[in-house]
């Protein structure tokens, strides 16, 4: 009887030690802390249109090689032309009448509006 009592006592002691060891490991592991990813915004569009005033031939100079949509409007809101450019582009349109136009340049970073005078 003493042997069986000793064996039971050893089994119970091992079980308690095992449970305590598992519990202790869980408590000593540090929590996982995640740091948010910092998103750096792309640089803004810095387009320039020259010469301004022009005679119908002008250049759109840009700091981006991505696709950009260029839409030219008259002052009454009519679309004069609509095209897609990649980087600096020369535009020749001798059919433009004298007046003031609004050129809207759009890409994934934003929108730029420029005034263009045709003489």
How far is Cα 66 from Cα 51, in angstroms, rounded to an integer? 23
The CATH number covering residue 87 comes to 2.60.40.3080
- Tell me the pLDDT tens digit for each residue of 31-46: 777 778 777 766 666 6
| Domain count for the chain | 1
C-alpha of 100 from chain center: 34
Q: What pTM, to 2 d.p., does this model score? A: 0.62
- Tell me the pLDDT tens digit for each residue of 56-105: 899 998 887 888 999 999 999 999 999 999 888 899 988 899 999 999 99
Domain assignment present for residue 36? The answer is no
The parent domain of residue 101 ranges over 48-118
Residue 11: the pLDDT is 47
φ, ψ of residue 36 in degrees (nearest 5): -65, 150
Domain assignment present for residue 35? The answer is no
């Amino acid at each position: 009887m003493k042997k069986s009592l000793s064996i039971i006592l050893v089994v119970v002691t091992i079980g308690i030690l095992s449970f305590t060891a598992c519990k202790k490991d869980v408590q000593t592991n540090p929590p996982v802390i995640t740091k948010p990813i910092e998103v750096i915004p792309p640089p803004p569009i810095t387009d320039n249109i020259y010469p301004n005033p022009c005679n119908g031939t002008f250049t759109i100079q840009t700091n981006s090689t991505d696709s950009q949509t260029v839409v030219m409007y008259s002052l009454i809101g009519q679309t004069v032309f609509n095209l897609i450019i990649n980087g600096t582009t020369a535009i020749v349109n001798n059919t433009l009448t004298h007046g003031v136009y609004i050129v809207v340049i759009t890409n994934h970073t934003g929108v730029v509006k420029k005034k263009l005078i045709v003489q």
